[in-house]
Amino acid sequence: MLPSSEPADQPPLARYGRAAAALLDLPIADARWPAVLDHLALAERLAAVVGQHPLTDADEPAPVFRP
């Protein structure tokens, strides 16, 4: 799991990563956490860009892909 600090002492993305890993029973080595947190930060920035795109009443979800 995350290095030794308590969850309350960690930034929100670190707490999220720790909780998600625990929920999925996903062991993550201490040496890997910096890369995991970098990827979560990137995902947060990309989501912010997508979230800024306005939707209109005419927008609809994409059709479901069925191979």
Residue 34: per-residue pLDDT: 95
Whole-number Å distance between alpha carbons of 16 and 31:
18
- Whether the pLDDT of residue 67 is over 90: the answer is no
Q: Does residue 1 sit within a domain?
A: no
Structural domain including 27 reads 7-51
Whole-number Å distance between alpha carbons of 31 and 3:
9
10-29 confidence digits (pLDDT tens): 899 999 999 999 999 999 99
What global pTM score does this model have? 0.69
Q: Does residue 40 sit within a domain?
A: yes
Q: Please give the tally of structural domains in the chain.
A: 1
Q: Does residue 31 sit within a domain?
A: yes
27-60 confidence digits (pLDDT tens): 999 999 999 999 999 999 999 999 999 989 888 8
Q: Does residue 30 sit within a domain?
A: yes
Q: Does residue 2 sit within a domain?
A: no
> Which helix (H) or strand (E) segment is 13 a member of?
helix 12-23
